[in-house]
């Protein structure tokens, strides 16, 4: 290679060394191991099928052995009750095949090894691992069966129906012991392969429920179909008395109706979650400009037990009103009364990914529109009474029992229950027909600083629209909308005076937009500061095996004061703790995150999660957290691939430089030596 080639090589190596440092983050990312990825690769749950096939395994303990007679009994009971229940729920025949595994498996450890409660929750013992999952893993590894094909209902090589029944009392049966297993459905931390198939999730319950606890077994199996819990789940941190929609659904306290022998049928939203949508969608839209009143459709409605309709009406992008008739027949025989059940479903509330849908009655995913208007179920006074059901002559919507969306806007229609010679009908009407425009307010009320205005937005319109009117507050203030138009669809209401900090008031009144009139009732909370969690995102490193302290400075709008409760969610919650709340004074504050590895971390592991901040009024904000586990004692080269590349290129650049400039120097020396040799050592020069 000539001088030109050496020079080019040297320059290229220097450029590559510099580039390795400039793009160090991107280069290092190529070599990082993401152990805690944010995207799940698990197969989706399969909804309830017309032809179901379940694998059921019985497990006993030394303290509670089973015999073959128990196997035969549970197989007969489970087959009979489950098939009959699911058929009533769907309204059409469901064929169910239940196969009890040949062998009764003996648990390798005592019951307390799988059911001990601890600081991290029920069945966690003194650590962070969910103990019953260890028993479930033992069951899977013990299975000796030629094929599991019949339990894969959608041909994706994943077992869709897997139920483990153990021989002891379940903790929810009120045994008084904290060492028993709480019935549950959950996923394995990693899929368990068995031949060509894999087990990704399981349901575990007690066979000692018997027919008097059949509702609990079905409740947990419904999760395998995709159903959500409709009550505040036991590990949600909720300590109130609200029971969700209570007795009206098997996914709430309705699984205990009749002592668990006659669990309530699933409501329409639960049926939709397991793959069976509304049997009738009612569209209550009238032509624009229609003079009121308007007459809508009349829909006959029969008992759900007899295959009656599950009626659904969409009232906003995320909200639906469900209507169904419930009677004390079949599995609904233990309901407190008969009549039409009306529910309001709101997908803007709850967290479906973590089965935390109905944990806050201030922002419920699903609630009953109570016919008696008392809202006692929502307040936690009861879990459902006969007065919640609508009877012939009752009305709901814009008349009778009022229904508002999560913005606080009254729906523009009403329904009346009518009895026509024993056949119940639902008649729909509208006083002013469909509005020309739609308005949008903040979901579940607004949180504002003292100097902020109240905002109303006209959606899906490019017209310049005039809006005017006033809202009167329970704190004595008013909000005035002036009679003006706004081309950007936003209209600002002005408060008559500032609100008191950390206070909430309800504002109600009529707002006119062109020829439309909107009946509004919404809450407004006044805060001293509002978190800006986009600026509080935490990306940092933590030690693999030593405690780490991380500080997140509070960043928010407004320079006032306030207090927010803190909840840590996701994998982060297994290694991180924080104070229960953060106090912000004059806009300043911080969150201290304490990381304790507990042997759960590995080199280059990512720990992902979120920190939820909640104000006194229930509004919450989410901080995203991404932490990378590394070791403090690592050499600088370890895990820093960009530095390795830079060093490599610098060494080669030096080699090229040495080769290039070294040859030139050697040539000069050779010339000098040649001169001296010519003068001093040629023959005759010393003569």
Q: Please tell me the predicted confidence (pLDDT) of residue 153.
A: 97
Say whether pLDDT at 663 is over 60.
no
Instruction: Provide the percentage of residues in the chain whose pLDDT is more than 90.
Output: 67
Q: What is the 3-state secondary structure (H, E, C) of 126-147?
A: CCCCCHHHHHHHHHHHHCCCCC
Examine the domain organization and report whether 91 and 118 are in the same domain: yes
- In three-state secondary structure terms, 498 is coil
Examine the domain organization and report whether 299 and 410 are in the same domain: yes
pLDDT digits (tens, 9 = 90+) for 408-450: 999 999 999 999 999 999 999 999 999 999 999 999 999 999 9
- In three-state secondary structure terms, 22 is helix
Examine the domain organization and report whether 392 and 461 are in the same domain: no
Q: Which of 196, 226, 256 is the last residue of a domain?
A: 226
454 pLDDT tier (thresholds 50, 70, 90): very high
Give the strands of the sheet with 423-430, arranged side by side.
Answer: 294-300, 423-430, 414-420, 395-397, 401-402
Examine the domain organization and report whether 64 and 207 are in the same domain: yes
Say whether pLDDT at 476 is over 70.
yes
352 pLDDT tier (thresholds 50, 70, 90): confident
- In three-state secondary structure terms, 77 is helix
What CA dihedral angle connects 444, 447, 452 and 455, to 10 degrees? -10
Examine the domain organization and report whether 214 and 160 are in the same domain: yes
Q: Please tell me the predicted confidence (pLDDT) of residue 237.
A: 53
Say whether pLDDT at 236 is over 50.
no
For residues 248 and 659, what is the distance between their CA atoms, to the nearest angstrom? 86
pLDDT digits (tens, 9 = 90+) for 35-88: 444 455 678 999 999 999 999 999 999 999 998 888 888 888 899 999 999 999
Examine the domain organization and report whether 314 and 396 are in the same domain: yes
Domain count within the chain: 4
Q: For residue 616, how many C-alpha atoms fall within 13 Å in the half-sphere facing its CB?
A: 16
Q: Please tell me the predicted confidence (pLDDT) of residue 241.
A: 79
113 burial class (0-12, 13-18, 19+ CB within 10 angstroms)?
middle
Q: Please tell me the predicted confidence (pLDDT) of residue 633.
A: 54
Say whether pLDDT at 110 is over 90.
yes
Residue 638 lies in a domain: no
Q: Which of 494, 526, 558 is the last residue of a domain?
A: 526
26 pLDDT tier (thresholds 50, 70, 90): low
Residue 675 lies in a domain: no
Q: Within a 10 A sphere around the Cβ of 264, how many other Cβ atoms?
A: 30
Report how far apart, in Å, the C-alpha atoms of 203 and of each of 123, 162, 215, 668 are.
15, 6, 14, 85
Angle at 186 between CA 362 and CA 602, to 5 degrees: 100
Residue 563 or 8, more confident: 563
Residue 656 lies in a domain: no
* 657 Cβ neighbours under 8 A, 6+ residues apart: 6, 10
Residue 291: phi and psi, rounded to 5, are -75, 140
Residue 680 lies in a domain: no
Q: Please tell me the predicted confidence (pLDDT) of residue 6.
A: 65
DSSP codes of every residue in 257-321: GGGGTSPPPPPHHHHHHTT---SEE------TTPPSPEEEEEEE--BGGGT---EEEE-SSSEEE
Query: What would the mean pLDDT of 176-183 be, rounded to a whole number?
Result: 84
DSSP codes of every residue in 163-228: EEEESS--GGG--S-SSSPPPEEEEEEEEEEETTEEEEEEEEEEGGGGGGGHHHHHHHHHHHHTPP
Examine the domain organization and report whether 542 and 497 are in the same domain: no
Say whether pLDDT at 635 is over 60.
no
Q: Please tell me the predicted confidence (pLDDT) of residue 83.
A: 96
**What's the mean per-residue pLDDT of the chain?**
88
For residues 218 and 215, what is the distance between their CA atoms, to the nearest angstrom? 5
For residues 260 and 170, what is the distance between their CA atoms, to the nearest angstrom? 13
For residues 23 and 642, what is the distance between their CA atoms, to the nearest angstrom? 8
Residue 255: phi and psi, rounded to 5, are -70, -15
Q: Within a 10 A sphere around the Cβ of 671, how many other Cβ atoms?
A: 9
Q: Please tell me the predicted confidence (pLDDT) of residue 232.
A: 86
Q: Please tell me the predicted confidence (pLDDT) of residue 35.
A: 43
Examine the domain organization and report whether 576 and 503 are in the same domain: no
Q: Please tell me the predicted confidence (pLDDT) of residue 16.
A: 74
Supply the CATH number for residue 598's domain: 2.60.40.10
Identify whether the C-beta of residue 262 lies closer than 8 Å to the C-beta of residue 331: yes
Examine the domain organization and report whether 72 and 197 are in the same domain: yes
Q: Which two tokens stand for residue 615?
A: 């104000």
Examine the domain organization and report whether 387 and 493 are in the same domain: no
pTM for the structure as a whole? 0.84
Examine the domain organization and report whether 484 and 571 are in the same domain: no
Q: Please tell me the predicted confidence (pLDDT) of residue 670.
A: 47
Q: Which of 201, 226, 251 is the last residue of a domain?
A: 226
Supply the CATH number for residue 444's domain: 2.60.40
Q: Within a 10 A sphere around the Cβ of 385, how many other Cβ atoms?
A: 18
Examine the domain organization and report whether 184 and 292 are in the same domain: no
Range(s) of the domain holding residue 422: 277-430
Residue 541 lies in a domain: yes
Residue 649: phi and psi, rounded to 5, are -70, -35
Say whether pLDDT at 202 is over 80.
yes
Q: Please tell me the predicted confidence (pLDDT) of residue 488.
A: 72
Residue 249 lies in a domain: no
Residue 10 lies in a domain: no
For residues 118 and 114, what is the distance between their CA atoms, to the nearest angstrom? 12
For residues 629 and 609, what is the distance between their CA atoms, to the nearest angstrom? 14
Residue 573 lies in a domain: yes
């Amino acid at each position: 290679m000539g001088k030109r080639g050496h020079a080019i090589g040297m320059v290229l190596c220097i450029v590559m060394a510099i580039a390795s440092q400039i793009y160090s983050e991107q280069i290092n990312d190529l070599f990082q191991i993401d152990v805690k990825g944010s995207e799940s690769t698990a197969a989706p749950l399969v909804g309830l099928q017309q032809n179901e096939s379940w694998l059921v395994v019985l497990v006993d303990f030394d303290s509670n052995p089973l015999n073959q007679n128990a196997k035969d009994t549970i197989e007969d009971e489970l087959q009979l009750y489950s098939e009959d229940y699911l058929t009533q729920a769907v309204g059409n025949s469901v064929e169910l095949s239940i196969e009890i595994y040949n062998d009764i498996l003996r648990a390798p450890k005592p019951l307390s090894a799988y059911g001990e409660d601890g600081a991290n929750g029920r069945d966690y013992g003194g650590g962070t691992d969910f103990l019953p999952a260890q028993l479930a893993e033992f069951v899977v590894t013990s299975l000796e069966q030629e094929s599991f094909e019949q339990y894969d209902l959608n041909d994706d090589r994943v077992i869709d129906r897997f139920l483990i029944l153990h021989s002891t009392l379940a903790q929810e049966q009120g045994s008084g012991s904290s060492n028993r297993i709480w019935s549950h459905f959950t996923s394995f931390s990693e899929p368990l392969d068995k031949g060509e198939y894999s087990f990704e999730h399981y349901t575990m319950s007690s066979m000692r429920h018997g027919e008097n606890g059949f509702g609990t077994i079905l409740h947990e199996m419904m999760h395998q179909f995709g159903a959500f819990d409709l009550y505040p789940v036991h590990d949600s941190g909720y300590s109130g008395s609200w029971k969700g929609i209570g007795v009206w659904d098997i996914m709430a306290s309705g699984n205990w109706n009749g002592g668990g022998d006659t669990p309530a049928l699933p409501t329409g939203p639960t049926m939709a979650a397991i793959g069976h949508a509304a049997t009738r969608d009612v569209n209550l839209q009238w032509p624009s400009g229609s003079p009121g009143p308007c007459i809508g459709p009349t829909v006959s409605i029969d008992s759900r037990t007899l295959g009656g309709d599950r009626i659904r009406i969409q009232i906003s992008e995320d909200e639906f009103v469900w209507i169904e008739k419930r009677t004390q027949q079949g599995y609904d025989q233990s309901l407190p009364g008969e009549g039409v059940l009306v529910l309001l479903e709101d997908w803007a509330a709850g967290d479906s990914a973590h089965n935390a849908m109905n944990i806050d009655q201030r922002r419920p995913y699903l609630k009953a529109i109570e016919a008696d208007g008392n809202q006692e179920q929502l307040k936690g006074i009861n879990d459902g009474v006969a007065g919640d059901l609508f009877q012939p002559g009752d009305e709901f919507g814009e008349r009778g029992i009022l229904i508002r969306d999560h913005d606080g806007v009254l729906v523009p229609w009403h329904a009346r229950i009518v009895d026509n010679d024993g056949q119940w009908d639902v008649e729909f009407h509208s006083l002013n027909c469909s509005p020309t425009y739609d308005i949008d307010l903040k979901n579940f009320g607004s949180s504002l600083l003292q100097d902020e205005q109240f905002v109303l937005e006209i959606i899906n319109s490019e017209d310049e629209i005039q809006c005017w009117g006033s809202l009167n507050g329970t704190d004595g203030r008013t909000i005035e909308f002036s009679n003006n138009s706004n081309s950007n669809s936003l209209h600002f209401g002005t408060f008559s005076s500032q609100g008191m900090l950390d206070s909430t008031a309800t504002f109600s009144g009529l707002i006119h937009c062109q020829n439309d009139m909107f009946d509004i009732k919404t809450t407004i909370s006044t805060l001293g500061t509002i978190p800006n969690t986009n600026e509080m995102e935490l990306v940092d490193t933590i030690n693999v095996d030593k405690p780490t302290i991380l500080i997140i400075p509070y960043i928010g709008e407004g320079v006032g004061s306030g207090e927010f409760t803190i909840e840590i969610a996701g994998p982060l919650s297994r290694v991180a703790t924080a104070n229960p709340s953060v106090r912000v004074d004059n806009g300043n504050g911080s969150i201290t995150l304490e990381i304790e590895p507990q042997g759960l971390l590995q080199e280059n592991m990512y720990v992902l999660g979120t920190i939820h901040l909640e104000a006194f009024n229930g509004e919450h904000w989410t901080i995203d957290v991404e932490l990378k586990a590394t070791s403090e004692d690592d050499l600088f080269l370890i895990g820093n691939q960009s530095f390795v590349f830079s060093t490599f290129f610098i060494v080669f650049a030096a080699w090229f430089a040495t080769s290039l400039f070294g040859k030139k120097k050697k040539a000069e020396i050779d010339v000098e030596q040649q001169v001296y040799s010519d003068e001093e050592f040629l023959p005759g020069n010393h003569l």
